[in-house]
Amino acid sequence: MRMFLQVALLIVGIISLVVLLADMAVSLLAIFPTGTPAKIVQVEAGPYPLTIGFSKYPGNAGYTLPFSIASTRSLTYHAETIPGSGLAAQTVQASISPNTGKQVQGDAEITVRGLWHLHIIVDGPQGRGSVEVPLSVTAPPAIPEWMGWVIGFIPIICLFIFLFMQQGSDNEKPKETLPLGEQLATPR
């Protein structure tokens, strides 16, 4: 009986490890931008025409929104996300990778849902220019329904395992104990 329980727990442990590793892989893949942008916006920051691509649109609150900026020439960029009116949030500095020619990658940190603006400042040979690109941000996605059920049933499953393990201990007879000082009579 105990061997069966050990094998069952080993199988549950292996399945849990596989699910955990798969979840980690999906989470890591989700932070990398996809090959094709979900939304492309053509804007002008002063004298500089820019093409801004968002890898996911609309963005999710609480997550970074990867974006790319492409231009016809090498420029220096500075970006930040500004909350729209009525949002209880602060301006957040966006991270931009070092200039790699005419295209840069960046991540805009967005803390709450609502209307935001990606404010981009461009420095180049013709001076400084700036532009604000409106961003729509939605609430973060809910966990899948099946995962909610699995999480909800964990305490019940643990309770059944505990009761199953206790059932086996009822069948064992308690050992007879002797008062102190008495010895067992051994036949000779």
pLDDT digits (tens, 9 = 90+) for 137-163: 998 878 888 888 989 999 998 898 888
Q: Within a domain: residue 23?
A: yes
Sheet strands (E) in 31-73: 39-45, 48-54, 59-60, 64-71
Q: Which of 119, 138, 157 delimits the end of a domain?
A: 138
In this structure, the answer to whether residues 1 and 78 fall within a common structural domain is no
Q: Apex CA 70: angle with CA 69 and CA 74, to 5°? A: 110
Q: Within a domain: residue 146?
A: no
Q: How many domains does the chain have?
A: 2
What are the tokens at 153?
């049933």
In this structure, the answer to whether residues 126 and 73 fall within a common structural domain is yes
Domain limits at 103? 36-138
In this structure, the answer to whether residues 58 and 108 fall within a common structural domain is yes
In this structure, the answer to whether residues 117 and 68 fall within a common structural domain is yes
CATH number at residue 42: 2.60.40.1930
Enclosing H/E stretch for 77 = strand 76-83
In this structure, the answer to whether residues 10 and 52 fall within a common structural domain is no
In this structure, the answer to whether residues 132 and 40 fall within a common structural domain is yes
In this structure, the answer to whether residues 18 and 86 fall within a common structural domain is no
For the chain, the average pLDDT equals 84
Q: Within a domain: residue 98?
A: yes
In this structure, the answer to whether residues 51 and 134 fall within a common structural domain is yes
pTM, 2 dp:
0.62
pLDDT in tens, the chain (188 residues): 578 878 888 898 899 999 989 888 887 776 666 678 889 999 999 899 999 999 888 888 888 888 989 888 888 889 999 998 888 888 889 888 876 667 888 898 888 999 999 999 999 889 999 999 999 999 887 888 888 898 999 999 889 888 888 876 555 555 666 666 666 666 65
Q: Tokens 């102190």 identify what position?
A: 180
